[in-house]
A = this chain, B = another copy of it.
Amino acid sequence: MQIEMSPEIDARALSLIDWSEVGEDVWADCLEATLRFSREGKRWSNRFAEKSIVLLFLNPSLRTRCSMELAAGQLGAHVTTLQTDAGLWKLCFEDGVRMDGLEVEHVREAAGVLSAYYDAIGIRVFAGLTDYENDRDDRMLRSFAASSTVPVVNMESAWAHPCQALADAGVLSSLYPGCNGKRFVLSWAYHPKALPMAVPNSTVQMAARMGFDVTIARPDGYALDPNVMKTASVLASFAGGSIEETTDLAGACEGANVIYAKAWAGPLHYEDPAAESELRASHKDWCITSDLMDSTDGGKFMHCLPVRRNVVVTDEVLDGPNTLHIHQATFRIFAQKAILERCWGG
């Protein structure tokens, strides 16, 4: 038979699921490339004109979609963007089932076909927030990646948001060439909806890896997963920083250099939405205000966006001079260029 498909099995090694699975050298190279792309700014080239990527969104997106389209486009690659709520077949992620329900296509076929078509696949698949182990093990993303034969880039999964983490690291590197001795606070924030843990998981590990003294300020019941914390601790000790947790937000902010706010639903009531909602509602005061920012050491405010104004953070902070949220979004383009460059050969 004449049909010959190049399986490129090794390409999977170039997938980016979670930075915690990737060697320190890869992280360092990608961060350096991010900074290089940030110095270039907007630049359009034909460098990867023979490459193409498909972006598959199972959840909403503004920044990720736009910054991925621009990152790939500025590198010369072709981009197809797919939204599962706009004209796509509903996907089945479970193996071995009899598909006689609502799901029309199995991830094996979807990932198999997209791998045959494109040179990389970006996928966004948020936490379902109904099954902790399922989310913690990132089963949907990993099921998709296991059926792909080209590099898969995690555009935010149930458990990690590596594109955001690299972009944030780029912003912080620009700001603080040395992070040791600087204090980074990841603050839980109130939010009217239960939100996934992907961003806090990736943020705490990013800050630890950068060498910050990291404080996670969050109410009781909102501790991050023990495995995430363990990895963060190891990263911190290698980088010469530290990790601690507190329920005292005001105390954490005092003298800090960075306040990174994010809402999330913690493991305590993860599978009990009513209990989680009640506990969350008792912490509506967890909002970053000018008073908190004034108590820092000229600290910077960070958020991955989208952000609910006057719920997670006040207008004064977001409209003031000490916020990095637009910079973080801008660095997404640079970080994702670095990630694509790794996929397609620096």
Q: Does A311 contact B (CB under 8 A)?
A: yes
Tell me the residues in window 81-117 of chain A with beta carbons closer than 8 Å to chain B beta carbons.
82-83, 85-89, 92, 95-101, 104-106, 108-110, 112-114, 116-117
Q: Does A327 contact B (CB under 8 A)?
A: yes
Cβ B310 vs Cβ A97 within 8 A: yes
Q: Does A209 contact B (CB under 8 A)?
A: no
Cβ A88 vs Cβ B60 within 8 A: yes
Min CB distance A325 to B, Å, is 7
Q: Give Cα A106 to B110, complex, Å.
A: 34
Q: Chain A interface residue count: which class? A: 35 or more
Cβ A330 vs Cβ B99 within 8 A: no
A66-74, A135-143, A179-187 - the one binding chain B: A66-74
Cβ A5 vs Cβ B326 within 8 A: yes
A13-21, A49-57, A219-227, A238-246 - the one binding chain B: A49-57
Contact with B along A294-333 (1 / 0, CB 8 A): 0000000000011111110001001100000111011001
Q: Give Cα A66 to B106, complex, Å.
A: 17
Q: Does A78 contact B (CB under 8 A)?
A: yes
Cβ B78 vs Cβ A52 within 8 A: no
Cβ B309 vs Cβ A97 within 8 A: yes
Tell me the residues in window 33-84 of chain A with beta carbons closer than 8 Å to chain B beta carbons.
38, 42-44, 49-50, 52, 54, 57, 59-63, 65-67, 69-70, 73, 78, 80, 82-83
Cβ A306 vs Cβ B105 within 8 A: yes
* Other contacts beyond A3-B171, A92-B309: 5, CB < 8 A: A3-B174, A86-B87, A98-B309, A108-B318, A108-B319
| 9 A/B residue pairs, CB under 8 Å, sorted by A | A1-B174, A44-B50, A62-B113, A65-B82, A66-B80, A66-B82, A99-B310, A109-B326, A117-B329
Which 9 A-B residue pairs are closest in the complex by CB-CB distance? A105-B306, A86-B86, A99-B308, A83-B87, A98-B310, A113-B329, A2-B174, A116-B330, A100-B192
